Structure 1
């Protein structure tokens, strides 16, 4: 797999229950509130006070924030904490550092949000370093905070992976199936709940996974049968009882360069990553990463029928744009 890559997401705002009706992102509230200004305020809030999830030990911080034109760029650090551990030099097998329960080994990754003027979609680009990134954590917090702020207006923020159909088809042709996973998100805490008719509570998710035992992948024919829905993997492969409902079937695919997860039952195409070619052992600079993201954004904007002005990366922000406030929701972190 590519050591450095960029993933792309489309960001939209819709009225609750009306997924096809997209709101103008330059006028979210009818008074000119712009998603770019709102997101900038959100990022600055995280920069002041990072997210810490004490229950699950997740940490997210932000630094080096820049806002110009229709573009916001920032680096994010995401990691886990809550247990003690060691850092080892893999060449010498020696411990070089010991970290405590309040310390988190993190990797800094670059991100860019592009919000074309008066558009119904924005583009979020996220660097992945060795398969690790902060997009899921960051967008999850942004969505939760946005939906809380606009609850009375019944607006919801949505994200979806962007993939070129032709590129996706080429990926599938070469891809090997390396894992099948069935997931159920809502489950009662007591087996008697189902008998007594009590409402199930979301106390965690159940996962059922199958991986190849000896070879590096499962049969190619099996992947085709699952994707065209000619078999039910939860019962015919995983062996779950007939009638047991799952929320998602996830297929893990790899073509040697990219590893992707297909979520069955959802419309559209999974997110494809854009590998960055660099010399062995070299980490791309901010300039290289953001120029690479800008090229992708311009390509994707055409496909999404979005218009970017000539100064979308250089236009200056006024005091009013920077004065927008947006405090991140932390009560459930």
Structure 2
């Protein structure tokens, strides 16, 4: 059963072709002592997200994966937000199980979007005196749609700041993560394939691939530490581990436990691992979700050397601040004015 949790990413802003990040409260160099006159990244990103409410977003070449921001709330140095995710491109026939004639009251075309019932939750934290902030998105299993939201925020931020780059990195705190993995115990390793191989399907009397295939394994002894480090750092090791017993697996998940904290590391192909902070097997309430998120944000901020103000998640915004919004620009308009660009 998929677990519920969240993924934390590090957020930084910088000038094009410059590595050094800018201070988030002014979007000026970190050694610039000026406290006023610059633009606040939190205000800009809140305005961008507020303007995107109820606009359906997609990314890249896969236009079947959708995200719609449903609400944004400014509080302290944060933006709380909710978003719906959906998928299109699936043709199917919906039948009435109670009708003996087998009538089909509804046929779904590839245009229709199937949206998940519960909206996802997220938090954007941008301390004004820091060069690093955090983006937190809710995860069901390993699904977050972070890439769709990330790409839109990067594109819009570059447009409204005349070319500044917004970096959103998948691992928020490599040093703290390394310390965690040193102490963690591996609970389970799960290899998943999204469909059963054709030859196995034939042996089971199935005409085509159907269902899914997974295998759990245990690793004991000192090899556990080496295993985690190599998974994290070596793409060829990740690729080889996804082939076992002559089966090509799509995904490898490692669940670790350290004290009361559970972390799942997901590997897909030779891509860098994704890390999910696990809350539990059922969808948490808003109170439980944000209590866990706020605790993790404080831990990660400490590891990054980021100083969070005491009211970072509590101070209310003025009506004027809450009303601020930036009108979105379509991709075609962006291409026309040349603001799309590369990093």
Structure 2 length-normalised TM = 0.65
Tell me the C-alpha RMSD between the 2 structures.
Answer: 4.3
Match of 1:44 among 39, 50, 71: 50
Q: Deviations over 1:255-284 (max 9, x none)?
A: 388341278697xxx442111136xxx432
Q: Is the 8 A contact 2:181 2:228 kept in 1?
A: no
1:265-284 matches, within 5 Å, as 270-277=273-280, 282-284=282-284
Structure 2: 5+ residue stretches without partners: 29-35, 97-101, 194-212, 243-249, 257-261, 335-343
Q: Is the 8 A contact 1:162 1:272 kept in 2?
A: no
- Partner secondary structure for residue 300 of structure 2: helix
Q: Is the 8 A contact 1:11 1:124 kept in 2?
A: yes
* C-alpha distance in structure 2 between counterparts of 1:48 and 1:231, whole Å: 38
Task: Indicate the residue corresponding to 1:66 in structure 2.
Answer: 73
Q: Is the 8 A contact 2:50 2:324 kept in 1?
A: no
Q: Is the 8 A contact 1:109 1:134 kept in 2?
A: no
* C-alpha distance in structure 1 between counterparts of 2:293 and 2:2, whole Å: 16
Task: Indicate the residue corresponding to 1:13 in structure 2.
Answer: 13
Task: Indicate the residue corresponding to 2:208 in structure 1.
Answer: none
Matched residue count: 278
Structure 1 length-normalised TM = 0.66
Q: Is the 8 A contact 1:65 1:72 kept in 2?
A: yes
1:187-206 matches, within 5 Å, as none
* C-alpha distance in structure 2 between counterparts of 1:216 and 1:262, whole Å: 16
Task: Indicate the residue corresponding to 1:167 in structure 2.
Answer: 180
Alpha carbons of 1:52 and 1:302: their partners in 2 closer, same or farther (altered >3 Å)?
Answer: closer
Task: Indicate the residue corresponding to 2:330 in structure 1.
Answer: 330
Match of 1:104 among 108, 113, 125: 113
- Partner secondary structure for residue 78 of structure 1: strand
The answer to whether 1:113 aligns with 2:116 is no
Alpha carbons of 1:144 and 1:275: their partners in 2 closer, same or farther (altered >3 Å)?
Answer: same
